[in-house]
């Protein structure tokens, strides 16, 4: 823990460095710029949107995995883990090919007659969301799978014997029991999304700026280390706030379950 805490403390201390010593100048400069505030909001919204998309797509995948035969579980495990087993650069450039004007998505939509001309997906916020959802969805699926695997199958049978339908059993028994997994997965996906650098940089093409990109520009290109430290601290605070919120929700869900 010492090797983790000390660098963070040094980072935070560096963020308060000004021309005359300790100062809040880096933070006031950040919030006085509408562009920087927009970057902060865009990064937060990106984390929320990717988390929600990962939950919407990942929960059915986890449910399918739990109910699949053992043979298919091996295949599903490979498919779920595949994004994490691929190089970030290779994976991201694969999405460049898919999202391009002549990419797989536009080609399929044109052939199906859904669109008349290629839509712009590359170098857009939506393109970044699509790529990051695919990248970090395993971090949502795995905790939900762990929660689903701990549910006693006799609970569903008891609900059915008492007249509970499939949907009623799911919403009143299965879903509440998987809330801890959902909260854990949401925390992982959000934290990894807002701190992602490679995928937003390549898919965004330099036209979209998020906090990690801003940190790189200020710290590496402009060599403004104190300002970069301040932006990093704000990113850390964002993640900590989400941890506190999701932890509180997790405690409430446990009280609800018990």
Task: List the domains of the chain with CATH numbers.
Answer: 34-257 (1.10.3720.10)
Q: What average pLDDT does the segment 170-177 reach? A: 84
Q: What average pLDDT does the segment 112-127 reach? A: 86
Q: Are 235 and 43 in contact (CB under 8 A)?
A: yes
At residue 256, the pLDDT reads 55
What Å distances lie between residue 46 and 52, 158, 194, CA to CA? 10, 41, 7
What does the block give as tokens for 167? 């949907």
More confident residue, 159 or 237: 237
What confidence tier does 96 reach under pLDDT thresholds 50, 70, 90? confident
What does the block give as tokens for 149? 């695997």
Lowest mean pLDDT among 80-94, 184-198, 218-232, 244-258: 244-258
Place of tokens 């330099």: 206
At residue 212, the pLDDT reads 93
Whether 192 has a pLDDT exceeding 90, the answer reads yes
What Å distances lie between residue 152 and 136, 155, 252, CA to CA? 28, 6, 21
At residue 47, the pLDDT reads 94
Which tens digits make up the pLDDT trace of 21-74?
788 889 999 999 999 999 999 999 999 999 999 999 999 999 999 888 888 888
What confidence tier does 251 reach under pLDDT thresholds 50, 70, 90? confident
Place of tokens 């993640």: 239
Place of tokens 């390549």: 202
At residue 7, the pLDDT reads 86
At residue 144, the pLDDT reads 93
Instruction: Report which listed range, 90-104, 170-184, 219-233, is most confident.
Output: 219-233
Q: Of all residues in the chain, what percent carry a pLDDT higher than 90?
A: 39
Q: Are 145 and 182 in contact (CB under 8 A)?
A: no
């Amino acid at each position: 823990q010492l090797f983790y805490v000390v660098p963070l403390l040094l980072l935070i201390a560096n963020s308060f460095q000004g021309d005359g010593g300790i100062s809040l100048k880096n933070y006031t400069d950040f919030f006085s710029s509408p562009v920087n505030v927009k970057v902060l909001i865009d990064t937060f919204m990106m984390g929320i949107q990717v988390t929600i998309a990962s939950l919407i797509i990942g929960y059915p995948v986890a449910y399918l995995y739990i109910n699949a035969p053992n043979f298919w579980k091996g295949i599903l495990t490979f498919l779920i883990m595949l994004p994490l087993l691929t190089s970030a650069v290779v994976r991201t450039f694969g999405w460049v090919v898919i999202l391009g004007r002549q990419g797989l998505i536009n080609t399929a939509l044109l052939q199906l007659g859904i669109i008349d001309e290629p839509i712009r997906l590359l170098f857009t916020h939506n393109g970044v969301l699509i790529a990051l959802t695919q990248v970090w969805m395993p971090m949502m699926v795995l905790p939900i799978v762990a929660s689903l695997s701990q549910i006693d199958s006799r609970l569903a049978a008891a609900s059915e014997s008492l007249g509970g339908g499939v949907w009623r059993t799911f919403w009143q028994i299965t879903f509440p029991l998987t809330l801890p997994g959902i909260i854990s997965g949401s925390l992982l996906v959000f934290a990894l999304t807002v701190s992602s650098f490679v995928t937003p940089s390549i898919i965004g093409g330099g036209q979209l700026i998020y906090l990690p990109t801003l940190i790189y520009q200020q710290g590496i290109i402009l060599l403004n280390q104190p300002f970069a430290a301040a932006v990093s601290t704000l990113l850390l605070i964002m993640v900590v706030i989400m941890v506190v919120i999701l932890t509180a929700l997790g405690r409430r869900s446990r009280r609800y379950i018990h």
